[in-house]
Copies of this chain bind each other. A is one copy, B any other.
Amino acid sequence: MIDQYDRRILRILQQDGRITNQQLAQQVDLSAAACWRRVKAMEESGVIQRYAALLDPRQLEQGLTVVLMVQLSQHNRAYRDAFETRVKGLSEVLQCYALTGNADFMLRVQVPDMAAYDRFLNDNLFTLEGVAQVQSNFALREVKYETAFDI
């Protein structure tokens, strides 16, 4: 089970995924070897899923964020699976959740500009059977973007 040492390790790694093992060990007050073994065990068990560099989309010409609410026309398995499989394969879709409420799915899409978004919709979403409604909400501002949650 995960104990307080693990939690402290995770809290730090969420904020700095590239901290050296030695520094990490020092901060959580363990020997380097003990700390290292704990991190490896959590990578193995999937508690730590992966490490990522987080980039600035605006500096990389991917500055348009769109939040989409999608409704399917019927809630059968075929439409749902087709939609989810498509979504997983689209590199513009960074996040997708199946939701309770009016909309069936929420998507976050990251594209360079409106022209690219237009293409994205026409080529990838409107071509899908069973997509009844798509509401596009454009991000005026990113108020907060955090990957770290409470542990």
Residues of A within 8 A of B (CB): 2, 10, 13-18, 45-57, 59-60, 62, 65, 67, 84, 87-88, 91-101, 103, 105-106, 110, 135-151
Contacts and interface: CB of A to CB of B under 8 A. Distances in A.
Nearest to A105: B143
B14 A55 contact: yes
Contacts of A137: 99-101, 103, 106
Given A50-B16, A54-B52, A150-B92, A99 B138 contact: yes
Contacts of A92: 149-150
B149 A106 contact: no
- Copies per complex of this chain: 2
13 contacts: A13-B53, A14-B53, A16-B52, A17-B17, A17-B51, A48-B54, A55-B149, A88-B143, A97-B141, A98-B143, A99-B138, A101-B135, A101-B138
Q: Which of A16, A45, A98, A137 has the most CB of B within 10 A?
A: A137
A89 to B, nearest CB: 10
B143 A14 contact: no
Contacts of A52: 13-17, 51-52, 54, 147-148
A110 B59 CA distance: 28
